[in-house]
Structure 1
């Protein structure tokens, strides 16, 4: 793998919740229009970021990997409500066109279930590393909390009936929430030449496919171990160099046990302590946008020299017992973090970043 030379220079985030969730109510964003809500949010965030670029740029050399994980779903659901699926609804579902008018370069969408947001950052960094564009928008948006969608997750048994509390012995799933985040990526040398200070460096990444089925993430800590080790190798850092690990941490039985087992294999057994947590009890699970949102949250915490606690965690599950999982905020001396995301169907991604303080 070619070493990453990509930095994050700006970002915009909008989420429905920023405080500890104490019930099981899905968190929705409020928009003036209910039509194509995810696309509306993705374009809104993208236009804010691209509108702040302080230098002239060539649209042909401007790329985007901004994605919604359920393109056109609102149109499909509206058509179902009316009893007829229109040709426009199918066209919107297929096209997934969510870029500002002044983006004329490579546009790549990455539909990877709940790993979509992190895949978008990885693919954006790859476009820049391969010199396919000079600047790139990366991120994801999710605003699809229609009763049909929530009902599907309930049938799968992953929605909490109480409140989100990853790694807690009483956890019973996640609370879905809407939100999104879009960042502007550049090559580091280009940012320096334009006099732009970056907020974080992208040091490396990894993408994998686990042995899973379309509606589950198989409990397999070895897949997570391989993902983390591959990301660290590609970033050319040692596990001891990490300051913080943002876990996928959904609060479901299988996910949390698998992640805790992976941490024990990589860190506990080597007597290495790296603080790790999930912030989904603070933001809800933003589904396809989770990886993008959690990348920005990780940057913000690292910039402030802080590792966040696993919010909502009160009594850790013995099967999730791990030295690394935080129950309280912790001050940090280093600023390198890794973000993990997994999606139904087996998509897995990891992103290694270094925040600029």
Structure 2
């Protein structure tokens, strides 16, 4: 079985448009959540989000090409370009038939759909763009990355809601581990900060309405939380077989050693209070990695800042780790980024790689008064230095999709 390593990473996020900016702001405990500027929110219940600001698609792609790309594809391509650049891959020297792309999106090009729906209503069917469908379908980020880098191998666009990033990384891990691919570009992208998405989530009472304190709105595990904060962005990793990476002298950033996936089979949007589905995914990841609970040094929680979600994940961690659960630090990146939906898992995997490399755990900010049902060590409000070797990252999605990946600081054993 091939070992699977990480050789490149890219991020577009509310905290910055590159890995180092994103990471440094996470470590400082800065919030990327602010009042929404690109929409008229005067009639919206919720007026805050983790928007990606100052993203210049025209500068990156040219004005003509940018117009042909929905924002979620722009994010994915930009993050993939960062990851490819860091990886040092010589695209003229690789076997393109053994290079794949596993990049998904939960909602796809919803802004393009809404724009063209407006065109249909106001100007008639003859004015609807013929590029509507290819711009909006969720697989297009993976397709465009594949086209750009001539990745002729396995291409997959998982749609497992907010579990997408981990699903993509985990399934890519299995593929490379089995020897079917040398390289897979993996992660997720999302750009769903639209009027209709915001209204729908708000009317479902899923979002924080702390409009006057945007930086304090996302507060996982805190007793005063009142919902999650929508966000957008992309997180992309280059996964590579160890043998391939070593053969070309790549700088190795980390290693993927475990993946587990499960379904709650329970409810369209709610999670079981006992966290049983999430626990199954975590247990499977540990089994795949041949680890015991005592081997894990840090957990990057899904932790969206909803009451039932945070309590359910805490219960799941206790089921899986037993007494070790009280020893292992748990961090919640979404306290600073908001919930990047299908992009979350990819971005949080990037953060976990940086944690393992640098021995720093980003804080869970806004954790002032912990929910009594959430009694683990959530690294409140300030980053922490620690000896880190192995970390688990959790991602869960609507429909009961659960996924957990386990990453390891690279050691040339």
TM-score computed with the length of structure 1 as normaliser: 0.92
Which residue in 2 is equivalent to 1:180? 234
User: 1 CA distance for matches of 2:286 and 2:337?
Assistant: 27
Equivalent residue number for residue 285 of structure 1: 339
The answer to whether the aligner puts 1:156 opposite 2:167 as a matched pair is no
| 1:129 match | 177
Over 3 Å counting, the alpha-carbon distance change for 1:126 and 1:263 in structure 2 is: closer
What residue number does 1:256 align with?
Answer: 310
* CA drift at 1:294: 0.4
Instruction: Tell me if 1:276 matches 2:330.
Output: yes
For residues 115-142 of structure 1, the C-alpha deviation after alignment (integer angstroms, 9 at most, x for no partner) is 1111111121122122222111011111
- Cα 1:185–1:315 shift into 2, 3 Å: same
State whether structure 2 residue 74 is matched by structure 1 residue 45: no
The number of aligned residues is: 354
Corresponding residue of 1:116: 164
Equivalence for 2:44 = none
Counterpart in 1 of 2:14?
16
Question: Is 1:65 aligned with 2:88?
Answer: no
**For residues 248 and 301 of structure 1, what CA distance do their matches in structure 2 show?**
16
Cα shift readout 1:176-227 (whole Å, capped 9, x = no counterpart): 1111111111111221121112101101110111123333334332222222
TM-score, structure 2 normalization: 0.80
Gaps of 5+ in 1: none
- Most deviating of 222-231 and 6-15: 222-231
What's the counterpart of residue 192 of structure 1? Answer: 246
Q: Distance in 2 between matches of 1:122 and 1:211?
A: 20
| Distance of 2:409 and 2:271 partners within structure 1 | 30
Residue 49 and residue 309 in structure 1: after superposition, are their counterparts in 2 closer, same or farther (change >3 A)? Answer: closer
Q: Please, which moves more after superposition, 203-212 or 268-277? A: 268-277
Q: In the alignment, is the contact (CA less than 8 A) between 2:184 and 2:240 conserved in 1?
A: yes
State the distance in 1 between where 2:2 and 2:274 align.
29
User: 77-86 vs 202-211, which deviates more?
Assistant: 77-86
Indicate the structure with greater helix content. 2
After TM superposition, list the pairs within 5 Å mapping 1:333-344 onto structure 2. 333-344=387-398
Secondary structure, in 3 states, of the residue corresponding to 1:320?
Answer: coil
199, 204, 222: which one aligns with 2:258: 204
Segment drifting more, 239-248 vs 46-55: 46-55
| Distance in 2 separating the partners of 1:264 and 1:197 | 36
What secondary structure, in the 3-state scheme, does the structure 2 residue paired with 1:319 have?
coil
Match of 2:300 in 1: 246
SS of 1:274's equivalent in the other structure is coil
Picking from 282, 285, 301, the partner of 2:355 is 301
Aligned to 2:378: 325
SS at match of 1:340: strand
Q: Does 1:139 align with 2:187?
A: yes
Distance 1:218 1:154, change over 3 A: farther
**Cα–Cα, structure 1 residues 78 and 218, in superposed 2: closer, same or farther, change >3 Å?**
farther
- Given that residues 202 and 353 in structure 1 are in contact (C-alpha distance below 8 angstroms), is that contact kept between their aligned partners in structure 2? yes
CA shift in 2, pair 1:215/1:263, >3 Å: closer
Gaps of 5+ in 2: 16-24, 35-46, 58-65, 211-216
